[in-house]
Each structure stands twice: as C-alpha cells, then as structure tokens.
C-alpha cells in the first residue's frame, strides 16, 4: 500500500479528550466559582465539618503522648513542691513553737521581776506618723527629709523608726518639714544592747559608705556572734529601750588589735523608707525630780550670806 494512502488520524477508539489548555481553563473557572460560592454562601462548610469530624480521632491520638508527658511532668513537679512546702512549714512550726515557749517564759520572768523589784511600768512614747519626702542633697551624709515639722509637734532629737526598727534621729526641725539623720550616717551613734548576752555598746555609722553600722570598742574576746540582735538600751534618754536596731553580720577578731571589728545590718529600712514614726524623746517623758531630792545650793565661802 502506498504511503500516501495511509490515514494519519488515529482511530476513533484511541481519540483523546480535551486539550491541556482547555482543561486548565475549565478547572480554573471551576475553582474560581467554588471560591466565590464558598466566600458568599459557605457551600463547602459542611464538607469541612465532615472532614474535621473524621480526622478528630487521629488528632486526639497524635496529641496523647504530649499530654501524657505534660501530666507526668506536672505531677512530679507538684509532688516535689508539696514536699518542700511541707518541710518548710514543719521547720517554721517547730521554730514558732520554740519561740512561743521562750516568749511565755520570758514574759513570766519579767512579770515576776517587776513585782519583786516594784518597778514602774515602761514609759510609753507618743508617736507621730510622717512620710519621707526626699533624701538629702549632700552625698557625704545619710539624711532624709520628712513632711512633719515644728507645727505638727516634732522636736529636735526625736527618734524616728519604721515597722522594723530604728531609722535615725531628728537633727533639724523647720516649721513644715524636718531633717532626719539616719543611723548609718558616719556622725551618728546610738547606744545598743545585745539581746542575747545583755552586753552594752555603742553602734556608729559605717564610715566606709556601706549602709551598715559598726559596733566599736568591743574587746576581741567579747561574747558576740553573727546573728545577735542589737536593741536600744535607753541609757541616752532619747531612744526607748527594746527597739530593734541592727543584726550582727560580721565579726573580725584581729591579733594586732585589742578590739574586734563588728559590722551590723540595720533592721530599719534605711534605704527606701516611705512611711515612718516620729517618737517623743525619752527624756521628755521622765518626770521631774521631786523638790526634796534636788541638790541644795550651798553658799560659797566668802560669798554673800
């Protein structure tokens, strides 16, 4: 058969469908129509809900290992925290029980001693609440200014304290404000009493610039330890006795010196105090000496009779 007589078109059984370009146009139009229909009428929402419902068990199973890991971790963390809290609370309860017994014993001994010696009741100080306005501008001093002055009844040398302990002493009084020199000032000193041993001493502001106190002139072999509480002794007729002043934080016993170097951390908030109490000086509360106890004035020999 001559080549020219062969039919070049494929038989009907092997005919192909639409061309690739036609398919692209048709499916693109179909996709666009579905997008518009879904955006306007939500036609695919039921389909999505059905697929989501069918896939939920697989999602749930795939998340179980992570959930189990988190639950196990929280369980062990909670158990460790609970055990630590129980131990801390048990220790605190034991300490409070011991302190409660000591307080009751000391209160009983104090009452017995007062009755035995017929001591009068401890003087009570009138207090005035004040607020710290600002720190002193002098960088070489430790002073603050409070919003109460002479018009409110503040007196020079009045002790100032907060809820934790002694802060300082009023050194300058003006009509509406007052200047308070803190206990950590290098020019400030305060008589103190060691609450553990009963030893007296004098605490000075630390000259090195640190917010500490230095208990000076204590013998190198003195019975003083880190953690001892120092309170006001009341011998200066300014501070009422028994107010916390500082806690011993460092004791240096040097062989070349007869005195120990003792540094103390103030109990009062000497840095950042906001609200304070101004007390009446203790000397103002002491009653005047009766006339028959006052020393008589004797005439000087050769003087007028």
The CA distance from 228 to 239, in Å, is 20
Q: Give residues with Cβ within 8 angstroms of 239, minimum separation 6.
A: 159, 166, 190, 191, 232, 282
> What Å distances lie between residue 164 and 15, 135, 147, 244, 267, CA to CA?
101, 20, 20, 7, 6
HSE, side-chain direction, 13 A CA sphere, residue 34: 9
pLDDT at site 119: 38
Q: Which residues of the chain have pLDDT under 70?
A: 1-17, 98, 101-102, 104-105, 108-109, 112-125, 207-209, 284-305
The total number of residues written for the chain in this structure? 305
pLDDT at site 10: 56
pLDDT at site 121: 47
Q: What is the pTM of this model?
A: 0.54
- Residue ranges covered by each domain of the chain: 30-118, 128-283
Torsion, CA 149, CA 151, CA 155, CA 156, rounded to 10: 50
Residue 277 is inside which H or E element, if any?
strand 275-279
pLDDT at site 303: 43
Looking at CATH, the fold of the domain delimited by 128-283 is given as Thrombin, subunit H (2.40.10)
pLDDT at site 182: 93
| pLDDT 10s digits, 117-135 | 553 444 456 788 888 998 8
pLDDT at site 23: 83
Residue 189's DSSP bridge partners are 204
> What Å distances lie between residue 235 and 47, 117, 156, 215, CA to CA?
91, 19, 18, 16
The CA distance from 218 to 261, in Å, is 8
pLDDT at site 206: 79
Q: Which residues of 28-55 are buried (b: 16+ CB within 10 A; e: fewer)?
A: eeeeeeeeeeeeeeeeeeeeeeeeeeee
Residue 277's DSSP bridge partners are 129, 161
What one-character DSSP code corresponds to residue 18?
Answer: S
Q: Structure tokens of 175?
A: 């009509």
The CA distance from 181 to 183, in Å, is 7
pLDDT at site 190: 93
Torsion, CA 235, CA 233, CA 282, CA 181, rounded to 10: 100
pLDDT at site 238: 87
The CA distance from 35 to 251, in Å, is 83
Q: Structure tokens of 79?
A: 């158990």
């Amino acid at each position: 058969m001559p080549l020219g007589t062969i039919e070049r078109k494929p038989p009907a059984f092997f005919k192909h469908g639409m061309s690739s370009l036609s398919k692209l146009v048709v499916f693109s139009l179909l996709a666009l129509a579905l997008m518009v229909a879904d955006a306007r009428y939500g036609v695919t929402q039921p389909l999505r809900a059905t697929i989501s419902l069918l896939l939920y068990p697989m999602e749930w199973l795939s998340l179980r290992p992570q959930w189990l890991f988190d639950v196990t971790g929280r369980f062990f963390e909670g158990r460790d925290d609970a055990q630590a809290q129980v131990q801390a609370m048990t220790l605190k309860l034991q300490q409070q029980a011991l302190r409660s017994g000591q307080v009751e014993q000391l209160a009983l001994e104090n009452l017995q001693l007062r009755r035995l010696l017929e001591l009068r009741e401890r003087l009570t100080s009138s207090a005035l609440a004040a607020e710290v306005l600002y720190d002193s501008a002098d960088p070489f001093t430790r002073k603050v200014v409070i919003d109460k002055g002479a018009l409110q009844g503040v007196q020079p040398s009045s002790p100032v304290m907060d809820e934790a302990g002694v802060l300082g002493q009023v050194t300058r009084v003006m009509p509406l404000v007052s200047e308070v020199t803190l206990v950590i000032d290098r020019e400030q000193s305060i008589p103190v009493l060691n609450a553990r041993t009963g030893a007296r001493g004098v605490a000075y502001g630390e000259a090195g610039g640190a917010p500490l106190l230095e208990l000076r002139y204590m013998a190198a072999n003195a019975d003083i330890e880190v953690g001892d509480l120092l309170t006001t002794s009341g011998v200066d007729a300014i501070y009422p006795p028994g107010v916390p002043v500082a806690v011993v934080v460092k004791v240096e016993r040097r062989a070349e010196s007869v005195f120990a170097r003792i540094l103390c951390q103030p109990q009062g908030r000497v840095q950042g105090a906001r609200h304070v109490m101004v007390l009446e000086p203790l000397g103002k509360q002491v009653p005047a000496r009766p006339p028959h106890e006052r020393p008589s004035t004797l005439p000087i020999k050769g003087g007028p009779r």
